[in-house]
A and B are shown apart, each in its own frame.
Chain A
């Protein structure tokens, strides 16, 4: 592969087991979540750094926090598409796994787009297909809070999907958008898993850690992990210090969650959803400013501004899997092949599945 790596990557590489380096530098490496709203989009800094650290595919969350409306989301997707198109020598907006493999083969970073929260739909299930046409390949209905589609994971209540939420999820399954339970409340997420199972499509938690390892409301229970795995889906392990919990967001803490998910569901149902952003100050200020979406973390202690896992830690994670004796095939699965399997199954066009019914 030899992409130059950069200093930080070289330091990690020196310390890593050569088997880990060999696997990662050959594998398809896929990070299922990167915040990429206007506050975090860094086309010429963060994206090249991930590419140099060996990441081949990144799913960009192109949404303003808090939830953007239809107009704002459309204007912004236009901006993102234009920025990516201007860098066509280095990156490619992908719509299929074939596009992704072609991007990797040509030495370019493969990008897909996702929405976190259903607010861009403006209450219209028809908008699912429209955003799909513009590149959205994964979406979650509710970000921490209750909305017109679902309950969020930080909400006072824990209700199932609304009628509109069911229509939207069914439309995602028809059109071929990966259904994501991250940030969603337990019952709503289990409703989503059920709809996915009915349609024979995989369900995902693109960037979630294990509640059994740390009981944060943003982490998912073993029942959720199993429901996801039962559809053929996967859980992307998350690198945010608060959810681990580890103020430094160290790799060992991330590995504990990964190991738990693999133990509960099998390594074929684990992946990476790092959730890296550079401007952590902006993130934590925003968290403090939106207390309804981000109630205090468990334990009663005051919130601290934890670190976010860095792209070079993907290699450390590979190294941890190698040192813990994971089989190479399982490691390659976690690094990217599980997401590529899930994506193939979630994105294939299936115009026959349902129509816009009553939910």
Chain B
């Protein structure tokens, strides 16, 4: 199905079987940027819902604001959701996610792509959780007080403060997210965190060695923790200017072959205003050093590609149950295990 925002991308023909599966399964996209300027509730969210997505994790803030800006954006997005309570519902538990789907509403949770908005207060972990945040990543590309980001000059481990943050996150019961975080910082975190660890939106370094993609031993450690990795739809990380479903599937399949279908999900990272995103990337060169093949300006996977991915999984012989797990069942299981 073409869409006016769609790049000139050859579509995968989707069978009835795949379309039906995507419609009936609980489909969970674990990342949608939703900071100021991205929070387009009346176009993007209905489009995801029509494309079969039942739960979407909104990044209410990334590295661009501290506590004040983050809390303000959470207040705005909560008001945005409350004003559309016939269509949208903020979920806090796996049961609420299932209830949202049953009621025909799009469920949302919040995530934060940074830890700077804690501003030195461990107690803010609980505050953000109580306001709807269900995962937080440790560092966004650059170094922060917790550890190194994945694009940093250095690859150090966790700080003392970072260890305390992890402990508090574990106590509060939100998902600890290694996306955008440096290799050693994530490997150390997976050693010290007793429960499941996730990468909400990451591709495979073995398929394309971009600094934003994660290595096989990170994928294995994540799976060993009981966690999961959400495959990402940014052309830049896929090494595909058009962000084709086949390319996304190559990353997804690499992870499935490596650790099995119970540890893979979706974290598409769709951005409608791609030009805005790329301008931000150019303005923040310390976070976004040149990538191997320089695909700046490449496309983002579109919500309708969820059905195409379902088709490709079925064509590759994935069992229905495994496809359902990847589409959303794995994130639901982890919500049940970790959130409290």
Which of the 9-residue segments A69-77, A194-202, A229-237, A259-267 touches chain B? Answer: A69-77
A355 contact from B78, B83, B121, Cβ within 8 A = B83
Give the Cβ gap from A270 to chain B, nearest Cβ, in Å.
34
4 additional A-B pairs beyond A126-B79, A129-B78, beta carbons within 8 Å, are A71-B119, A81-B130, A126-B72, A356-B79
Which B residues from 207 to 233 make CB contacts under 8 A with A? none
Interface range, A side: 20 to 34
Considering the complex, give the chain B residue whose CB is closest to the CB of A123: B72
- Tell me the count of chain B residues lying within 8 A, CB to CB, of chain A: 21
Expressed in whole angstroms, the Cα–Cα distance for A40 and B183 within the complex equals 45
Contact (Cβ within 8 A) B78 A82? no
Give the Cβ gap from A38 to chain B, nearest Cβ, in Å.
13
Give the Cβ gap from B35 to chain A, nearest Cβ, in Å.
15
Contact (Cβ within 8 A) B127 A78? yes
Q: Which residues of B contact A18 (CB under 8 A)?
A: none
Q: Which residues of B contact A82 (CB under 8 A)?
A: 123, 126
List 6 interface pairs A-B (beta carbons < 8 Å), by A numbering: A71-B68, A71-B71, A75-B119, A77-B127, A127-B71, A129-B78
Considering the complex, give the chain B residue whose CB is closest to the CB of A71: B68
Q: Which 8 A-B pairs have the closest CB atoms?
A: A78-B123, A126-B75, A78-B127, A130-B75, A126-B79, A71-B68, A82-B123, A127-B75
Give the Cβ gap from A130 to chain B, nearest Cβ, in Å.
4
Considering the complex, give the chain A residue whose CB is closest to the CB of B80: A126
Contact (Cβ within 8 A) A124 B75? yes
Contact (Cβ within 8 A) A351 B127? no
Expressed in whole angstroms, the Cα–Cα distance for A70 and B308 within the complex equals 45
Chain A residues with CB under 8 Å of chain B are 69-71, 74-75, 77-79, 81-82, 85, 122, 124, 126-127, 129-130, 133-134, 351, 355-356
Contact (Cβ within 8 A) B67 A351? no
Contact (Cβ within 8 A) B71 A130? yes
Considering the complex, give the chain A residue whose CB is closest to the CB of B71: A74
Q: Which residues of B contact A134 (CB under 8 A)?
A: 127, 130-131
Expressed in whole angstroms, the Cα–Cα distance for A69 and B119 within the complex equals 15
Contact (Cβ within 8 A) B75 A75? no
| Chain A CB within 8 A of B319 CB | no
Contact (Cβ within 8 A) A129 B74? no
Contact (Cβ within 8 A) A81 B123? yes
A74 contact from B76, B82, B85, B127, Cβ within 8 A = B127
Give the Cβ gap from A268 to chain B, nearest Cβ, in Å.
34
Q: Which residues of B contact A355 (CB under 8 A)?
A: 83
Expressed in whole angstroms, the Cα–Cα distance for A122 and B76 within the complex equals 13
